[in-house]
Amino acid sequence: MNDCIFCKIANREIPSKLVYDSDEFMAFHDVHPVAPIHVLIIPKAHYSNLEDIVSTNPLLSKRLLQAVNDVASELDVNEDGYRLIMNSGENGGQSVPHLHFHLIAGTKLNIHLV
């Protein structure tokens, strides 16, 4: 997509502070972090949301979860813990219409969801 900021980051048109980079996925620090560690994990190809990637490329969606785990390992937060957030659609709070996960860690997160 021509106007998608995450596509521009994936294509290196906009600089980012990379944490992880593979042929299919990348992770980079959020420009407005909410915790000491706050990275965004995206597929490099444009998918609008989870339904989009699962319905068109289910194997890629499985590899995306492995990439999330790889990023958590790279950041050394697997043992202490982290929060993984994905917003979907306008009502879900998705502000960039490119599938992405927020990995948040580095402090005890005080919001408890059950």
Q: Which residues are catalytic?
A: 100
CB-based burial of residue 32 (10 Å sphere; 0-12 exposed, 13-18 middle, 19+ buried)?
Answer: exposed
The phi, psi pair for 20, rounded to 5°, reads -150, 140
Name residue, tokens 């992770």.
27
By three-state DSSP, how is residue 108 classified? coil
